[in-house]
Amino acid sequence: MRFIGPYNILKHVGLVTHQLELPPELDQIHDVFRVSMLRQYRSDLSHIVTIDEIELRSDLTFGEEPVQILGRDFKVLRKKIVPLVKVRWRNHGTEEATWEPEESICRLYPYLFGSGNDITRDIIPLR
């Protein structure tokens, strides 16, 4: 998730900063944000994320976990070929999937490469 909310703007603190009205569950987060971190909200009930759905760690970071391998490709560099996998992340749609090095994803999340979850290797790199 890139954004949570919506939250009301309490006041303009500076030329490019705003103080938001955050709920008590987010009291450990500073309530003043730069405008580049905010987006105007257009009313749509499907966009609303409840606080319970946010898994905020004690160091105030948000953990991402891959759920599916969507595709494979290869990045051809000067002297080597790097296998890549297209990864769909939890709480993100297919359109937000990212290309990651296969080696690192396999090392960190080996369960994605087990039987049934893996797609066929049908892409052959050209030399």
- Residue at 74: amino acid letter: F
Which of the residue ranges 9-18, 53-62, 64-73, 80-89 would you say has the lowest mean pLDDT? 53-62
Return the CATH number of the domain spanning residue range 66-113.
2.40.50
Global pTM? 0.47
Q: Which of 108, 112, 116 lies closest to 67 in space, CA to CA?
A: 112
Domain ranges across the chain:
9-53, 66-113
HSE, CB side, 13 Å, CA atoms: give it for residue 44: 6
Specify the pLDDT at position 59: 65
pLDDT digits (tens, 9 = 90+) for 11-44: 999 899 999 999 888 888 889 989 888 887 777 6
pLDDT (tens digit, 9 = 90+) per residue, 75-121? 998 889 999 999 988 777 788 889 999 999 999 999 888 754 444 44
- Residue 79 to residues 9, 82, 112, Cα–Cα distance (Å): 53, 10, 28
